[in-house]
Structure 1
C-alpha cells in the first residue's frame, strides 16, 4: 500500500472533484474518484452528516446506501458495487462545493492528525469484523429512532475515515462510540423495538 504522502488524501480528492467543470456530481463520480478506497470514503460521506442534527427523513435517505456499502465490506468484497439507482443519484456541483467548503477545513485538521498506524486492525478478518459492526450500526441509523442515530453515525464515520487512511486509532474511537451507542440505545430500547416492528411491517407490505 502506498504511503500516505504518496496518495491523495480524502479532502484532496474531494477538492479534485469540486474542481471539475460539470453541473452535477453523481455517486458514481465519487466512487470512481476514490478507487480502492471507495468503501471508507463513501461510508464517511454518508455517515458524517448524520452525526449532526439533520432534518427528519435524512437518516432514511443516507442510511440506505450505508447498508449497501457496509454489507459488502462485511462480506469481504474487494470492489464496491452499488445498484444503478444509487450510482445515478446526483447533486448539483454548486451544492457539492458548498458541502465540501464547509467540511474540508475540519477534514484537513483531522487528516493532519492521522497516519497509517495500528494497521493490523485492517486485514481480511479485521475488515469483515468492522464491516459487520458498521452494517448493524447502519441498520440502527436507518431506523426512525429519535436522537438514536447520531452516535452510531459518528462511529461509522470514525471507522470509515480510519479505513480510508489506515489509521487504527480512528478505529479505536469508532469502537468507543459503538459501545456508547449500545448504552444509549439500551435506554431507548422501547423506541427501538417499536421502530423494528414498523421496519419489518413496512418490508412485509413491500414484498
Structure 2
C-alpha cells in the first residue's frame, strides 16, 4: 500500500468514525499495518519543539514502542493498548492530520531497497527507537533534535517502504549518538575543570 493509498484510507476512516470514544485498535486497523510508522511520527515530531518537558514525557512512549518493536509479534498492537480509546473528535483530527502528512511525503518518497524498510527492519529499528528515546529523555541542550529527526525519518521510511530513507534515518541516529556523547564528554570535562578550579581557589 502506497502512502497515497494510506492517506486516502485514513481520510475515509476519519469521516466514518462512529459516535463515542474510538479504541486505539480501530485506529491501528485503519492504518493497515502502518500504525507503528504513524506512532513514530506522532511521538517524535513534538520533540522537535523547544517546549520543556515534552521530550521527557514522549520519550517514555517512544521507549515502549521500541520495546514492542523488539518483540516477536510486533506487527500486532497489544490487546491492552488496543482497548485504550480516544475521543471521536481527537481521533478524527489525528487521522486527518496523518492523511495530509502521507499525501505530502508521497511526492518525496518511493518504494526502494524495500528489504531495509520491511518487517525485518524491527531487528534494528526497535533497539534504535529505544536508544533514541533515551537520548531524548536526557537533559542535553538541543539534544532532542537529531534523535527526533531520526525517528521521524524511520517512520516515514516504514510507511513508504523506502529503504534509502531508512539508511538516512540510521545515519542521523548515529550522528545523534555521537553528538550526545560529545556533549556529555564536554560537560563532564567542564565540570571536572570547574571543581579543580574551585579546589585551587
**Which bracket does the TM-score occupy, shorter chain normalised?**
0.7 to 0.9
Match of 1:183 in 2: 178
- What do residues 76-122 of structure 1 show as CA deviations (whole Å, max 9, x unaligned)? 4243445747852635625862x666665554221222222101214
Structure 2 CA distance for partners of 1:176 and 1:44, relative to 1, 3 Å: same
| The one of 60, 63, 72 aligned to 1:64 | 60
Q: Compute the displacement of 1:128 (Å).
A: 0.6
Query: 1: distance between equivalents of 2:30 and 2:187?
Result: 37
Q: Compute the displacement of 1:13 (Å).
A: 4.1
Indicate conservation of the 8 Å contact 1:73/1:131, yes or no: yes
Indicate conservation of the 8 Å contact 2:70/2:126, yes or no: yes
Query: 2: distance between equivalents of 1:113 and 1:67?
Result: 28
Query: 2: distance between equivalents of 1:192 and 1:110?
Result: 38
Query: 1: distance between equivalents of 2:181 and 2:153?
Result: 22
Indicate conservation of the 8 Å contact 2:22/2:91, yes or no: no
Pair member with larger Rg: 2
SS at match of 2:111: coil
Q: Establish whether residue 135 from structure 1 lines up as the match of residue 152 from structure 2.
A: no
Structure 2 CA distance for partners of 1:27 and 1:108, relative to 1, 3 Å: same
Indicate conservation of the 8 Å contact 2:28/2:77, yes or no: no
Any unmatched runs of 5+ in structure 1?
A: 194-207
Moved more, 149-158 or 135-144: 135-144
Query: 1: distance between equivalents of 2:147 and 2:187?
Result: 13
| The one of 20, 45, 49 aligned to 1:48 | 45
Structure 2 CA distance for partners of 1:61 and 1:168, relative to 1, 3 Å: same
Q: Compute the displacement of 1:73 (Å).
A: 1.3
SS at match of 1:188: helix
Match of 1:88 in 2: 84
Query: 2: distance between equivalents of 1:66 and 1:122?
Result: 19
Q: Compute the displacement of 1:152 (Å).
A: 0.3
Moved more, 136-145 or 76-85: 76-85
Indicate conservation of the 8 Å contact 1:121/1:127, yes or no: no
Indicate conservation of the 8 Å contact 1:76/1:127, yes or no: no
SS at match of 2:5: coil
SS at match of 1:8: helix
Any unmatched runs of 5+ in structure 2?
A: 189-201
Match of 1:199 in 2: none
Match of 2:152 in 1: 157
Q: Establish whether residue 4 from structure 1 lines up as the match of residue 28 from structure 2.
A: no
SS at match of 1:36: coil
